[in-house]
Chains A and B, each alone.
Chain A
Amino acid sequence: MQAISERSATARKRLSSPIASLATVVIAVLWSLPTAGLLVTSFRPQADIQRTGWWTATSFTLDNYRQVLESQTSGRSLSQAFVNSVVITLPSVLAPLAIALIAAYALAWIDFKGRDLLFVLIFALQIVPIQVTLIPLLNLYVDAGLAGTYWPVWISHTVYSLPLAIFLLHNFMRGLPKELVEAARVDGAGHVQIFLRVLAPLLVPAVAAFGIFQFLWVWNDLLVALTFANTPGTNPMTVALANLAGSRGSAWYLLSAAAFVSMLLPLIVFLSMQRFFVRGLLAGSVKG
Chain B
Amino acid sequence: MATVTYSKASRIYPGTPRPAVDQLNLEIGDGEFLVLVGPSGCGKSTSLRMLAGLEDVDAGDILINDRNVTHLPPKARDIAMVFQNYALYPHMTVYENMAFALKLRKTPKHEIDRRVKEAAAMLQLEDYLGRKPKALSGGQRQRVAMGRAIVREPQVFLMDEPLSNLDAKLRVQTRSQIATLQAKLGITTVYVTHDQVEAMTMGHRVAVLLDGVLQQVDSPRALYDRPANVFVAGFMGSPAMNIKTVPLSDKGGRFGDVTLPLTREQLTAAQADGGGNRVTVGFRPEDTDLVGPNDGGIPITVDLVEELGSDAYVHGTVALEGQDERFVVRADPRRTPRLTEIVYVRPHVNTHHAFNAATGLRI
Q: Which residues of A contact B (CB under 8 A)?
A: 177, 179-180, 182-190, 193, 197-198, 201-202, 280-288
- Find chain B residues with CB under 8 A from A177 CB: 85, 87
* Contact of B90 with A by CB under 8 A: yes
Distance between A185 CB and nearest chain B CB, rounded to angstroms: 5
Partner of B165, one of A186, A189, A283, A288: A288
- Find chain B residues with CB under 8 A from A185 CB: 53-54, 73-75
Partner of B87, one of A179, A188, A283: A179
Closest to B52 in A: A186
- Find chain B residues with CB under 8 A from A286 CB: 83, 85-88
- Find chain B residues with CB under 8 A from A284 CB: 88, 90, 132-136, 141
Are A283 and B90 also in contact (CB < 8 A) when A186-B52, A186-B54, A188-B75 are?
yes
Distance between A46 CB and nearest chain B CB, rounded to angstroms: 55
Whether the pair B104, A285 counts as a contact (CB closer than 8 A) is no
Closest to B132 in A: A284
Q: How far is the CA of A146 from the CA of B272 in the complex (A)?
A: 87
* Contact of B224 with A by CB under 8 A: no
Whether the pair B105, A182 counts as a contact (CB closer than 8 A) is no
Closest to B76 in A: A188
* Contact of B79 with A by CB under 8 A: yes
A/B interface sample: 28 pairs, CB < 8 A: A180-B89, A182-B52, A182-B74, A184-B100, A185-B75, A186-B52, A187-B75, A187-B100, A187-B101, A187-B104, A187-B148, A187-B152, A188-B105, A189-B100, A193-B104, A197-B100, A198-B89, A202-B91, A283-B90, A284-B90, A284-B132, A284-B135, A284-B136, A284-B141, A285-B88, A285-B90, A287-B138, A288-B85
- Find chain B residues with CB under 8 A from A187 CB: 75, 80, 100-101, 104, 148, 152
Q: How far is the CA of A190 from the CA of B74 in the complex (A)?
A: 10
Q: How far is the CA of A282 from the CA of B83 in the complex (A)?
A: 16
Q: Point out which of B90, B132, B165 has the most chain A C-beta atoms below 10 A from its C-beta.
A: B90
Question: Which chain B residues (81-109) contact chain A, with CB distance < 8 Å?
Answer: 81, 83-91, 100-101, 104-105
Q: How far is the CA of A184 from the CA of B104 in the complex (A)?
A: 10
Whether the pair A182, B83 counts as a contact (CB closer than 8 A) is yes
Whether the pair A285, B89 counts as a contact (CB closer than 8 A) is yes
- Find chain A residues with CB under 8 A from B79 CB: 186
Distance between B259 CB and nearest chain A CB, rounded to angstroms: 50
Q: Point out which of B80, B87, B141 has the most chain A C-beta atoms below 10 A from its C-beta.
A: B87
Whether the pair A288, B84 counts as a contact (CB closer than 8 A) is yes
Partner of B101, one of A180, A188, A281: A188
Whether the pair B54, A182 counts as a contact (CB closer than 8 A) is yes
Q: How far is the CA of A184 from the CA of B133 in the complex (A)?
A: 16
Q: How far is the CA of A286 from the CA of B89 in the complex (A)?
A: 9
Question: Which chain B residues (138-156) contact chain A, with CB distance < 8 Å?
Answer: 138, 141, 148, 152
Closest to A185 in B: B74
- Find chain B residues with CB under 8 A from A197 CB: 100
Whether the pair B75, A285 counts as a contact (CB closer than 8 A) is no
Q: How far is the CA of A179 from the CA of B158 in the complex (A)?
A: 14
Distance between B84 CB and nearest chain A CB, rounded to angstroms: 7
Interface string of B157-171 (1 = CB under 8 A from A): 010000001000000
Q: How far is the CA of A280 from the CA of B132 in the complex (A)?
A: 12
- Find chain A residues with CB under 8 A from B136 CB: 284
Closest to A197 in B: B100
Whether the pair B75, A190 counts as a contact (CB closer than 8 A) is yes
Q: How far is the CA of A79 from the CA of B77 in the complex (A)?
A: 60
- Find chain A residues with CB under 8 A from B105 CB: 188
Besides the known contacts A185-B75, A288-B85, 17 further A-B residue pairs in the complex with CB atoms under 8 A apart: A179-B83, A179-B85, A182-B83, A186-B80, A188-B74, A188-B75, A190-B75, A197-B100, A202-B90, A280-B134, A281-B91, A284-B90, A284-B132, A284-B134, A284-B136, A284-B141, A287-B165
Distance between B168 CB and nearest chain A CB, rounded to angstroms: 16
Whether the pair A186, B132 counts as a contact (CB closer than 8 A) is no
- Find chain B residues with CB under 8 A from A179 CB: 83-85, 87
Distance between B86 CB and nearest chain A CB, rounded to angstroms: 6
Are A182 and B73 also in contact (CB < 8 A) when A187-B101, A285-B133, A288-B165 are?
no
7 interchain residue pairs of minimum CB distance: A284-B134, A284-B133, A179-B87, A285-B90, A187-B101, A283-B134, A286-B85
- Find chain B residues with CB under 8 A from A280 CB: 134
Q: Point out which of A190, A197, A201, A280 has the most chain B C-beta atoms below 10 A from its C-beta.
A: A197
Are A287 and B141 also in contact (CB < 8 A) when A180-B87, A185-B74 are?
yes
Q: How far is the CA of A217 from the CA of B138 in the complex (A)?
A: 44
Closest to B84 in A: A288
Closest to A190 in B: B75
Distance between A209 CB and nearest chain B CB, rounded to angstroms: 18
Q: How far is the CA of A187 from the CA of B83 in the complex (A)?
A: 12
Q: How far is the CA of A283 from the CA of B52 in the complex (A)?
A: 26
- Find chain A residues with CB under 8 A from B152 CB: 187
Whether the pair A201, B91 counts as a contact (CB closer than 8 A) is yes
Q: How far is the CA of A284 from the CA of B128 in the complex (A)?
A: 14
Closest to B131 in A: A284
- Find chain A residues with CB under 8 A from B141 CB: 284, 287
Q: How far is the CA of A187 from the CA of B145 in the complex (A)?
A: 12
Q: How far is the CA of A233 from the CA of B21 in the complex (A)?
A: 66
